[in-house]
Amino acid sequence: MRILLAAAPVIHREQAFNLQTILEYMKTYCERAELIVFGEAVLQGFNSLCWHYEEDRAVAVALTDASIVKIRAAAKRRHIAVSFGMIERRSGSLYSTQLFIGADGEIVNVFHRVSPGWKDRSQTDGHYREGARFEKFSYGGKTFAVGLCGDLWTEGRPEEMKALSADVVLWPVWCDYPASEWNGAVRQEYACQAALCGHDVLLVNPFCTDPEGAGNAAGACVHFRDGAIVREHPSGRPGVLMVTLE
């Protein structure tokens, strides 16, 4: 399977821009990859929430909203699967979600982040929720499992992930390390952590271009295998990494 990891440009609170970026990457790479994976919360940007529920509810999207319908239609039209992060609205609750859509446009998996690091717990109430567990699902002859950012750093969760024995662990993140730190020691720390979670672990960090500059992810894509870095796209610029798995 050819999986493209996309450290794509993202702007906080600019859903139209972010949606167009997802669609453009799908168009550009549909003949080269079977699946394209974007980072955490790329549809709205990780810092798109203000922790006032009614305002945040308006920022979040439901799986039936127009932006999701457009991405599903593009997946079917371009014959490419896509996985991307979003702030989801579901039955009055909000989640940090990673959605996986197949090349037929159908939703294959909806994963809710299990760790609370996506929200300000001092300001949020029960409307801001997490999922309970990881799960394994199948697509294109491979089994997958998803962990979002801090999920795979939470006590007990790496063991839970590894016990699933998924062929591929997708690790979409939103990391705001300076590029020099990531490209130095930090990526090696993530390599060691990935070894606790699975055999092939694919990490993707967006490249945030928000002019405000606070909490901006600096991009990176890495294919970890048993704790080693197989290939990577370094932090500091947008870009992609093609991973081919037999």
Q: pLDDT tens-digit profile of 34-82? A: 999 999 999 999 999 999 999 999 999 999 999 999 999 999 999 999 9
94, two tokens: 């909000």
Q: Are 71 and 108 in contact (CB under 8 A)?
A: no
What's the pTM? 0.98
The tens digit of pLDDT for each residue in 162-178 reads 999 999 999 999 999 99
Q: For residue 210, what pLDDT is reported?
A: 80
Distance CA 151, CA 95 (A): 14
How far is 39 from 195, CA to CA, in rounded Å? 20
Per residue in 185-233, pLDDT tens?
999 999 999 999 999 999 999 999 986 666 789 999 999 999 999 999 9
Q: Are the beta carbons of 70 and 64 closer than 8 angstroms?
A: no
Q: Is the dihedral of CA 130, 136, 138, 143 positive or negative?
A: positive
